[in-house]
A = this chain, B = another copy of it.
Amino acid sequence: MGCIQSFRQCCDRPKNTNVRISLPAVCFVWQIAMIILFGIFIRYNEESDAHWIEHKTSNNISSNIENDFYFRYPSFQDVHVMIFVGFGFLMTFLKRYSFGAVGFNFLIAGFGLQWALLMQGWFHSLDPMDGKIKIGVESMINADFCVASCLIAYGAVLGKVSPVQLMVMTLFGVTLYAVEEYIILSLIHARDAGGSMVIHTFGAYYGLSISWMLYRPNLDQSKHRIGSVYNSDVFAMIGTLFLWMFWPSFNSAISDHGDGQHRAAINTYLSLAATVLTAIAISSLSQKTGKLDMVHIQNATLAGGVAVGTAAEFMLMPYGSLIVGFCCGIISTLGYIYITPFMEKYLKIHDTCGIHNLHAMPGVIGGIVGAITAAAASEGVYGKEGLRNTFDFKGEWKDMKPTQQGGHQAAGLCVALCFGIGGGIIVGCILRLPIWGDAPDNSCFDDEIYWELPEDEENNPPTVEYSNHMRNKAVTESNVSLERRQN
């Protein structure tokens, strides 16, 4: 801790927010690197290659509709909307950081998905025949998933970092993600359709650890900019609703064709519906006169989708989904009321969007629910074929038992936690270097630093108090001058 403290101090030099060299340099270098690596490694898979027509004949595929594109593309588009509009607009709630929320979200997602295609490709879809990565619609969904974990992490540091820091954070975030995903899904053979562990737990703890490393003791200098205004809260609801509505697609996008996708969508739909009611109930309870708080509506209503992620494709049963959503709505809302202030005050972790309540806790719950549901699976409920199919008890895992699978699920959760916290601390150290152009403590949460703002009247609307004050002052002065004149 002492070491971290001294490292922190050594990094606290005066801030220069000019990113005119660093941001374009990073963008160009990384994009050129992507082109070269894509040129070397990435090719179409057999379903998106022009040889598909021959592949179809030789594999006795009766119709083009059997192409994976038609199974997954609608879900892909929904996930895509969640990444860019959902996460982007969810973060517009700050009164003067909407450009940064939507714009930097766009930037890091645009970069992250390319790097994710490469990293995930090396681990998962490297063709041993020619050493190439073969991509298709499922690769695009997985890339979007990977990016989601970095956008979750962005939520913790929203308004406090520069776009260059975000790019670095995404580069390492995607890399760590690909490794932990490979360990959890392939080595440990845990199942995680909706990514409660792989995406949410990892992403949230990654972001929180970075936020802890970048702790700003004097952030209260920017306190007046942390709140929302009426319109920014409505904009944020666009993000909330698109996340909420398309979450069934998120959790079902890469699950098994047929009943797997079908069941994952139903479970998520139900879990989210239950969360809305309990989040609103706790929000109302927390205020003297029962008024609702937009922060809870915007965030806690989504916790059910996170928590049902791992178990979405299992036979969780409709009432099981409702129970998961029920609990998470309560826990997440209580988190916003009690845990976020606690973490800021005592743990020195400032969490702008409250990702601990929306992703970290529900993600861990989701991992646990997944482990329990897997351990409790039986042939009676799933059918013999169904059990093998759902848990992929094939190949080297063909003798696995559901109880064992439960253990593997729990192990997967631990890996996600370790990668999130460990990776976040290391990347946080790198991001403390005083070369990234982040804002000084009194200019956080302000688009002014990185954006050309329109010179509009509404930028600094005169408040009634302000103009009254000014007027009174002027009138007083006029009186004074009059009195002087009279004397």
Contacts and interface: CB of A to CB of B under 8 A. Distances in A.
Interface in A281-314: 281-282, 284-285, 287-294, 297, 301
A435 interface: no
Interface string A450-482: 111111111111111011101110110011011
Contacts of A9: none
Interface stretch (A14-22, A150-158, A334-342, A408-416): A14-22
A125 interface: no
Contacts of A390: 50
A351 interface: no
A352 B340 CA distance: 39
B277 A77 contact: no
A314 to B, nearest CB: 8
A206 interface: no
B103 A20 contact: no
* Among A50, A51, A385, residue most surrounded by chain B Cβ atoms (within 10 Å): A50
Interface residues of A, number: 165
B382 A50 contact: yes
Interface stretch (A132-140, A179-187, A191-199, A419-427): A132-140
Contacts of A485: 483
Nearest to A263: B48
Contacts of A479: 478, 481-482
Contacts of A467: 462, 464, 467, 471
Contacts of A454: 95, 227-230, 232-233, 294
A363 B263 CA distance: 34
A172 interface: no
A74 interface: yes
Given A84-B241, A284-B23, A386-B51, A464 B462 contact: yes
25 contacts: A18-B289, A19-B290, A27-B278, A30-B277, A39-B317, A43-B318, A47-B259, A50-B383, A50-B387, A51-B259, A64-B71, A85-B245, A99-B234, A99-B294, A102-B234, A102-B237, A114-B274, A114-B322, A135-B318, A137-B266, A140-B266, A291-B450, A292-B451, A471-B474, A479-B481
Given A49-B386, A70-B70, A106-B241, 9 more contacts: A27-B278, A48-B259, A52-B259, A85-B238, A92-B234, A103-B292, A106-B276, A135-B318, A471-B471
